[in-house]
Structure 1
């Protein structure tokens, strides 16, 4: 029997944004002090810069929104039981110095699906009275009084930001799809739990301890649980992985409604349009996300 393959992850090959350059050595030393260790720009991180320092540390510099730093620091310090996060070794105005945790790609296996079901159930066990953006003490500081309306407004703004060819192709079918399914989407968007907000293969890894490693919490907020599920399943992982994930997630307290897979992929449209709006025209990212959007719109209720 062949070994399971890594989780599908087209995002691994997406182009880096040009402005996310590596830090020079002087910029690194200003933040962490003297060191003779080698410094290496890590893959991933389309918003922030992650520099590996020697073998045991990662310097994470917040270039887009330093306001997320304290939120992410708080989340890393919550004492998670079913998965690993890097320890925070030091912090400054625009950086966290993190433990480097050795890791390998997660596989599309039932065992790894089960582990992620347990991990996401633990994350989602933290509930909120309302959806919204989180502050540095993990309270909702910008509430979404109408979750569907907030997501719909976001979608419209991102559609407006698409380059003209994509906007012409997608605006009408996407807007029409959302309008036709508004009642269902309002129902699916009920309830608010802690969302990782970027729960996808690029941020999920295997470790020698057997626990998954969950990285990059900067986008965490309070919202509908199925948004994290949609990100995890975005690139169609193998069926044994999906089935084991669902069983484990529910066994450990997570709730999956009837037709949860379709609900999750439809809700992921709100994330996908944002990814597309920030993609360079003709890039691999634009091609992959456009295809995923069209596939979702062509689902069983897409007409």
Structure 2
């Protein structure tokens, strides 16, 4: 059961980009660019994913994922990252990168499991704790990859644009979404005013963020974590990875609230601790603040679907009104 009026994860959100339809014959050609010995037996469009298009492709005795996007460089970054991830991070192997009809195409290992969000609505407290612990262990493993600076990564995993959540940058970043960006198009003025007051009142908390310039998944939530029982079997979809604060990923993970979340959070903290990570005493607040940046950035679009806007506004209101309990 979902509590406190919170909704299901990204329910009915409109896609960033339309689905890219590829004929079976073209998928066969793509597969043969990877291996001439394989024949495509079946192709299934995978649900989920609001940016890239993913197909499950059955080969003889095996499956792969064919991942398609108009942004070739994002796949190139993913390929580099998959080859660089710490060994403890459970992620599918990136097998091949090519192009088709102007699109970037990646072929990735198929991993068995079910997505985390499918388990969050009806799991027992004990299972929520176990899942949280496994996720905390994976997040700690992700944080083993360190960079020289904070910011957005290029295809070589070099920081191409520096960005760090300091108190000053937190305020200026939020303000920029509404003054020079498009976010003001999607929210009422009274909510925007409340966001500005809220950021100024709480920005000082980022002085406590000592998490360092380390790997951030950037979309770390129940839609991108594959589970085998209560254990993480794979962390998926790394196109938004950056160097930054751990509180981005924690905030994203805890954005939606379900029954027994205290058990889940307890397991998460245990898994992080076992991986050598100690959070600030105000970790929940920092996670909410970091996620407010993410939520506002999602509204910083010329075109933003109605369902997406409604859910993001609801999530922002939750942050503004009851995140400090």
Q: Please report the TM-score for the alignment, with normalisation by the length of structure 1.
A: 0.85
Q: Deviations over 1:38-61 (max 9, x none)?
A: 222111221111111126011111
Q: 2:83 aligns with which of 61, 77, 80?
A: 77
Paired position in structure 1 for 2:125: none
1:96 aligns with 2:106: yes
Measured in 1, the distance between the counterparts of 2:188 and 2:39 equals 49
Q: 1:126 aligns with which of 126, 145, 157?
A: 145
Measured in 2, the distance between the counterparts of 1:293 and 1:103 equals 31
Q: 2:272 aligns with which of 249, 260, 263?
A: 249
SS in 1 for 2:131: helix
Decide whether aligned partners of structure 1 residues 79 and 132 sit closer, same or farther in structure 2, where only a CA change above 3 A counts.
closer
Paired position in structure 1 for 2:63: 56
Paired position in structure 1 for 2:249: 228
1:195 aligns with 2:219: no
Measured in 2, the distance between the counterparts of 1:242 and 1:138 equals 30
SS in 2 for 1:92: strand
Cα pair 1:73 1:88 within 8 Å, conserved: yes
Cα pair 2:143 2:216 within 8 Å, conserved: yes
Paired residues in the alignment total 294
Q: Which moved more, 1:286-295 or 1:125-134?
A: 125-134
Q: Which moved more, 1:199-208 or 1:31-40?
A: 31-40
Q: Which moved more, 1:18-27 or 1:96-105?
A: 18-27
RMSD between superposed Cα atoms in Å: 2.9
Paired position in structure 1 for 2:312: 289
Measured in 1, the distance between the counterparts of 2:168 and 2:27 equals 42
> How many angstroms does 1:189 deviate by?
7.5
1:158 aligns with 2:177: yes
Gapped regions of structure 2 (runs ≥ 5): 2-6, 33-37, 121-127
> How many angstroms does 1:88 deviate by?
1.8
Q: 2:192 aligns with which of 150, 161, 171?
A: 171
Paired position in structure 1 for 2:49: 45
> How many angstroms does 1:10 deviate by?
1.8
Gapped regions of structure 1 (runs ≥ 5): 3-7
Decide whether aligned partners of structure 1 residues 211 and 191 sit closer, same or farther in structure 2, where only a CA change above 3 A counts.
closer
SS in 2 for 1:181: helix
Q: 1:207 aligns with which of 215, 228, 247?
A: 228
Q: Deviations over 1:208-254 (max 9, x none)?
A: 79443100111111011111111111112421111011112022111
Q: Please report the TM-score for the alignment, with normalisation by the length of structure 2.
A: 0.80
